Amino acid sequence: MEANAGGDTLDGERKTVTAFFADITGSTLLMESLDPEEARALVDPALKLMVDAVHSYEGYVVQSTGDVVVRPVHSESGRAEYTPIGHATNLASRMQAVAPSGSVAITEATRRLVEASFSSSNVVRPGSMG
């Protein structure tokens, strides 16, 4: 724990997290000619699928950013809010940026955590990414 300038302590705890970044391919080009409300109507169903998937694994969404209007992110009442920072978040952002459209890129550590959920036929190894 560290003390801030006001003398209060900043509480924190070490947690294992998986940072998830997703992008809707072509959304920027598609939405540049749309009103923000029209764009949101197109994006929201896909965003809902992603958020629901995160919630199904007892995770939560810290933020949703991108080409659409401002939206709130709700959490369960009484639940502590965490904002991941540092290497894991930066690495997840870079992994999303290099993932080919229609694919998922994960780190070796995440692969070890989830490998039982996937067959080897649908896994792309890092060296084989275009």
Question: How far is residue 69's CA from residue 40's CA, in Å, rounded to a whole number?
Answer: 7
Residue whose token pair is 């300038």: 5
**Residue 39 burial class via C-beta count within 10 angstroms: exposed 0-12, middle 13-18, buried 19 and up:** buried
Contact 40, 27 (CB under 8 A): no
Where exactly are the structural domains of the chain?
Answer: 20-80
pLDDT, one tens digit per residue, over 6-43 is 555 666 677 777 777 887 778 788 888 888 888 888 88
What integer best gives the mean pLDDT of the chain?
Answer: 74
pLDDT, one tens digit per residue, over 44-86 is 888 888 888 888 888 877 777 765 765 666 666 656 666 777 7
Contact 23, 34 (CB under 8 A): no
